[in-house]
A and B are shown apart, each in its own frame.
Chain A
Amino acid sequence: QKEVEQDPGPLSVPEGAIVSLNCTYSNSAFQYFMWYRQYSRKGPELLMYTYSSGNKEDGRFTAQVDKSSKYISLFIRDSQPSDSATYLCAMPMHSGGSNYKLTFGKGTLLTVNP
């Protein structure tokens, strides 16, 4: 079983829709959870992070973590065409000493149609 699983999509929604993006993970040692957004031909950029169960809101974006189910979600309200991108979940894991490595999901390609 892969450490982080993410449905690659693609996901296509109309403008204004609520989008739900999800990842599951197998390693209960993961404590921090991040979402990255990657526009076409660009590097990923950090969108949101959280380190606890529950919800964290930032504008139209809400990150949700359920550690008991090893399941994380990113919700986008009132989606806009500018939200069209690949969304990757990521989890840092201790890899020895003071170093942590990020494990990424494969990313979900989202298209918001005007």
Chain B
Amino acid sequence: SQTIHQWPATLVQPVGSPLSLECTVEGTSNPNLYWYRQAAGRGLQLLFYSVGIGQISSEVPQNLSASRPQDRQFILSSKKLLLSDSGFYLCAWSAQSLWQRANYGYTFGSGTRLTVV
């Protein structure tokens, strides 16, 4: 069965410090991968998505970047965190095929709660 791992679960970082959040998927190949941010009262905001190794699409201009060095690994980074980067970050994967996506949607990790102080 497919599983998605995301870590750390919580993180407190000072303003101006770097960030690296990692997400890995097991039990599938060629997944589509996504990074979302969820802020209170603002719902889920898609930050980046990737359809393959080294292929990253950015949805929102911001202080963050993403990379996909391996098929099932997705990394969210920042060189210098801002207070506004605080939030709940979620990694998700979906199958490539339209039928599977339509029937199974996205599978989310357990999230990282980031507080920038």
Do the two chains belong together in a single complex?
yes
- A interface residues with partner B (beta carbon < 8 Å): 6, 8, 32, 34, 36, 41-46, 49, 51, 88, 90, 92, 97-102, 104-107
Q: Is the CB of A49 within 8 A of B102?
A: yes
Say whether B107 faces chain A, with CB atoms less than 8 Å apart: yes
Q: Is the CB of B109 within 8 A of A32?
A: no
Q: Is the CB of A34 within 8 A of B105?
A: yes
Q: Is the CB of B43 within 8 A of A106?
A: yes
Q: Is the CB of A49 within 8 A of B49?
A: no
Partner of A92, one of B51, B96, B102, B110: B102
Chain A, Cβ-Cβ closest to B50:
A99
A sample of 8 more A-B contacts (CB under 8 A), given A49-B103, A49-B104, A107-B43, is A41-B88, A44-B44, A46-B106, A92-B101, A92-B105, A97-B51, A98-B51, A99-B51
In Å, the complex CA distance between A32 and B103 comes to 9
Q: Is the CB of B96 within 8 A of A98?
A: yes
A36: which B residues are within 8 A, CB to CB?
A: 105
Query: How would residues 24 to 38 of chain B score, 1 for a CB under 8 Å from any chain A CB and 0 otherwise?
Result: 000000001000000
Q: Is the CB of B110 within 8 A of A43?
A: yes
Instruction: Name which of B32, B43, B90, B92 has the most chain A CB atoms within 10 A of its CB.
Output: B43
Query: How would residues 79 to 117 of chain B score, 1 for a CB under 8 Å from any chain A CB and 0 otherwise?
Result: 000000000101010001010011111111111010000
Say whether B41 faces chain A, with CB atoms less than 8 Å apart: yes
5 A-B residue contacts at CB 8 Å? A41-B88, A43-B6, A99-B51, A102-B106, A106-B43
Q: Is the CB of A45 within 8 A of B108?
A: yes
Chain B, Cβ-Cβ closest to A32:
B102
In Å, the complex CA distance between A88 and B88 comes to 16
B109: which A residues are within 8 A, CB to CB?
A: 43
B98: which A residues are within 8 A, CB to CB?
A: 98, 100
Tell me how far the C-beta of A27 lies from the nearest C-beta in chain B, rounded to whole angstroms.
Answer: 16
